[in-house]
Structure formats: C-alpha cells, structure tokens
Amino acid sequence: MRFVKMQGTGNDFIVVDCFDQSAPQDPGALARRLCPRRHAVGADGLILVLPSDVAVARMRIFNADGSEAEMCGNGLRCVVRYLYERLGTNPSAIPVETAAGVLKGEVLSQAPEGGLNVRIDMGRPVLEPQEIPTSLIGRPPLNVRKVVRDRVLQLCVLSMGNPHCVVFLKEPVEKFPVQEYGLALECSHEFPERTNVEFVNVLSPSRVRVRVWERGCGETQACGTGACAVVVAGALTNRTARQVAVELPGGTLDITWASDDHVYLSGPALCVYHGELCTDLVKGGAPAATKAVQTTGP
C-alpha cells in the first residue's frame, strides 16, 4: 500500500490515496498499527482520500488509537495540498467532503517554513450544547467552573465539527501538566463523545500560546480545529480579537473569525516523503519497517 507522509505545523499524518488503490478494510486497526512512533511509520493519524459524489474528494481520518474523527483542520490542509498537486491545476477552491460537511480549501502561497500555505474555510462554529455535544449549560458553555483533580478550571466548550474544551490559564502553559489534565477532561462525563482540550495563555488580543491534548492521540504539536476553537472562545469571552496568531509547539496558525461567521484557518502544509507499506504491516503483523521510495521537497 502506497502512502504519503505529510505534516502541518508538526501535526503529522499518513495519507493514503484510495482513488487508484483499494481502501483498507479496517482503517481503524491499520491506524493503530501505523501510528506508533519508533515501531511503524509514526503519526498523529491516518487519512484516507476517497472518491466523493459531492466534492473533489472525501476525507476520512482515524486517530492513533483507531477512533474515527469528524474533522481535523491540519489534516484537511494536508489533503488540500495533496489534491492541489494531484489535480495539476490551480482551482480557486478545492471542496473536500468530511464527516463535518463539505469544506473548501485553497493554496495561497509558498510558506516561509517550507511547503505551501493553505487556507481552509472551516464554516461556522457550533455553539448548541447538544450538537457539540456536552451536558454543560450555555450556548456555548463559557467560563464554566469545574474541579479537575486538585484544581478549579474555567472551561469554554464549543465544536468546530469536533468537540473542544478551551481552558485559559494564568500560569505559563509551558509548565502546565497537560497530559494529566488533558486526559481527565477528554474522558470527563460531561463529554459523551470525549473532547479535545486546549490550554491557552493570552499574550495579547491578537496572539495566544496553546498546547493541545487531542482526543484519541494525546498531546500533539498542533491542532487546526483546536486553534479555531481557541479564537472563537477568546472572542466570545472578550479575551482576544477575532483575528489571532495561534502559537503551537509545531508552529503558528493564523485564525480569523470573519464577519460572515465562518472561521478561516491558514498555515503551512508539507509533503515529507512518499512510501510503501510492507505487506506484513498492512495485513496485521507486528509494526515493522516502511520503505521510503521517494523523498520530496517541501
């Protein structure tokens, strides 16, 4: 099985083109085999690029634990970059079908970090508690006090096609025990489908620093939908403006919550290498080697 390793601000994915090869029968199990680092390819998730009746392609994304996610902003930027090169053209917008609906992306320019800058129209934030989903009260729930382990945290909860819990901190986010509190919040009973968690320092109205605990993955270098959720929560609570640079361990994403109520996500998407999975790994053997068959530039 051929694949492309891609990354956006350090959020990395194994992308499998299912137009010219068969889709895996059990992609969740394959994700669990491929994503462990130092044992297989290593990634935050597995993305399948499939034919679609309503868009250029359909994206399915599976977390490292094998669970399927509704959406992934950084993953979608990588898919748009991949389709841009696969199509060999420069359309003004590339629509991609996701479990959160059809979303449009476009390639903007060469990124200073390497790769190409890709912007995604992420649509409107979801604010209704039952649609997030969460049992917390509010539309959306904002500044909800909750005792988590030994601390009282204030939670802002919304969805960007997948659920997010945003926690604004006074202490430096670099020193905060993200693993401990991220896991506790991800699996808290107020989130029936679990949740992603963002821990945030507001540096100025137009800049924030964030660490992310992703549902089904653990702490990651970046999260596109999480960055969008941070800006929506920040604007709704008057902590930030509606156009914000979001600093993440893997790099910076530019987020705009525009006057049309849509959230726009911009940042670099890079192709790392093309590879071919060994048969043992595809069919369910122990995580083994992968064979890189072509190294690409940005």
In 3D space, the residue among 206, 153, 159, 145 whose CA is nearest the CA of residue 176 turns out to be 153
Q: Provide the pLDDT for residue 93.
A: 86
**Residues catalogued as catalytic:** 72, 223
Q: What is the percentage of the chain residues whose pLDDT exceeds 70?
A: 93
pLDDT number for residue 298 = 43
- Does the pLDDT at position 295 exceed 70? no
| E strand spans, 122-206 | 144-148, 151-159, 163-168, 196-204
In angstroms, the CA 14 to CA 17 distance is 10
Query: What is the pLDDT averaged over residues 243-266?
Result: 97
Question: Where do you find CATH 3.10.310.10 in the chain?
Answer: 2-119+269-295, 129-261
Torsion of CA 145, 124, 173, 141, to 10 degrees: 0
Helical residues (DSSP H) of the chain, grouped into ranges: 27-34, 73-87, 178-186, 224-236, 279-282
CATH architecture label of 129-261: Roll (3.10)
pTM score of the predicted model: 0.88
pLDDT beyond 60 at 103: yes
What mean pLDDT value characterizes the chain? Answer: 92
Largest CA distance in the chain: 54
Strand partners, 206: none
- Comparing CA positions, the residue from 192, 216, 197 lying closest to residue 66 is 216
10: left (phi over 0), alpha (psi -120 to 50) or beta: left
Q: Domain 2-119+269-295: give its CATH superfamily.
A: Diaminopimelate Epimerase; Chain A, domain 1 (3.10.310.10)
Degrees, nearest 5: CA angle 105-107-111: 130
